[in-house]
Chains A and B, each alone.
Chain A
Amino acid sequence: EVQLVESGGGLVQPGRSLKLSCAASGFTFSNYYMAWVRQAPKKGLEWVATISTSGSRTYYPDSVKGRFTISRDNAKSSLYLQMNSLKSEDTATYYCARHMYTTDPFDYWGQGVMVTVSS
């Protein structure tokens, strides 16, 4: 059974950093692109970052480029999101999700982890 389990969320002050983790199991992690998607309270979905199978290619929208870094450890079947210079507008539930290739849909999602940026 495919499982994606996020961790590392919490309350953080504006300007500080936080690192999220996503533990994958039930599939060959190294065969899949992985992504982070966030959802602000009562809002829609926003793609945040994607990483290729080897980790050599990463993609970000302008809203987080230069502040967030996605990485992976295929030996540990783990995905990470380093979030720096956090802003109040980064407050959201963060989901990790897998997709086979860039044009493929996100076919499995984790349960999500909440990040609250507030003083």
Chain B
Amino acid sequence: DIQMTQSPASLSASLGETISIECLASEGISSYLAWYQQKPGKSPQLLIYGANSLQAGVPSRFSGSGSGTQYSLKISSMQPEDEGDYFCQQSYKFWTFGGGTKLELK
């Protein structure tokens, strides 16, 4: 099974700050990597797919990068509405999620 190790587990950022969240796969996943945002009491929403493709309707301050086993999500200018939990997911071999990152506004 492919394991996804996500870091950090929690993060506090100031308004306008640039933040990054990392995801490490236990083996190569050929960029079959997605990022989701989940707000309290809501279902997850797709942000990024294919490691670096922005889902329609997602603000351009979100971006993804990476290859092989290492991937990252960047938010270029933290906004209040970006608070929430973020999860990575691989779909190369079955489907596995990272443990999540809780992002808060400082």
Binding site for B on A (CB under 8 A): 35, 37, 44-47, 50, 59, 61, 95, 99, 102-107, 109-112
Interface residues of B in 15-70 (CB under 8 A from A): 32, 34, 36, 42-46, 49-50, 55
- Do residues A47 and B94 form an inter-chain contact, with CB atoms below 8 A? yes
- B contact residues vs A (CB 8 Å cutoff): 1, 32, 34, 36, 42-46, 49-50, 55, 87, 89, 91-92, 94-100
Complexed CA–CA distance, A47 and B98 (Å): 11
3 A-B pairs with least C-beta separation: A105-B34, A109-B43, A105-B49
Tell me how far the C-beta of A42 lies from the nearest C-beta in chain B, rounded to whole angstroms. Answer: 10
Nearest B residue to A101 via CB reads B91
**Given A44-B87, A45-B87, A112-B43, A106 and B99 touching (CB < 8 A)?**
no
Please measure, in the bound complex, the distance between the C-alpha atom of A110 and the C-alpha atom of B94, giving whole angstroms.
20
- 23 A–B contacts from the bound complex (CB under 8 Å): A35-B95, A37-B97, A44-B97, A44-B99, A44-B100, A45-B87, A45-B97, A47-B96, A47-B97, A59-B94, A95-B43, A103-B91, A104-B49, A105-B50, A105-B89, A106-B34, A107-B46, A107-B49, A109-B43, A109-B44, A109-B45, A111-B43, A112-B43
Closest Cβ–Cβ distance, residue A104 to chain B (whole Å): 7
Residues from chain B with a CB closer than 8 A to the CB of A103 are 32, 91-92
User: B50 → chain A, closest Cβ, in Å?
Assistant: 8
Who on chain B is nearest to A4 by CB? B43
Decide if A106 touches B97 in the complex (CB within 8 Å). no
Give the CA-CA distance A61 to B49 in the complex, in Å.
Answer: 22
B46 touches A105 (CB 8 A): yes
Identify B94's interface contact among A61, A105, A109, A112, CB under 8 A.
Answer: A61
Please measure, in the bound complex, the distance between the C-alpha atom of A50 and the C-alpha atom of B45, giving whole angstroms.
Answer: 18
Cα A61 to Cα B100 in complex, Å, equals: 19
Which residue on chain A has the smallest CB distance to residue B94? A59
When chains A and B are docked, how far (Å) is the Cα of A104 from the Cα of B42? 22
Q: What distance in Å separates the Cβ of A65 from its nearest Cβ neighbour in chain B?
A: 12
B95 to A50, Cβ gap below 8 A?
A: yes
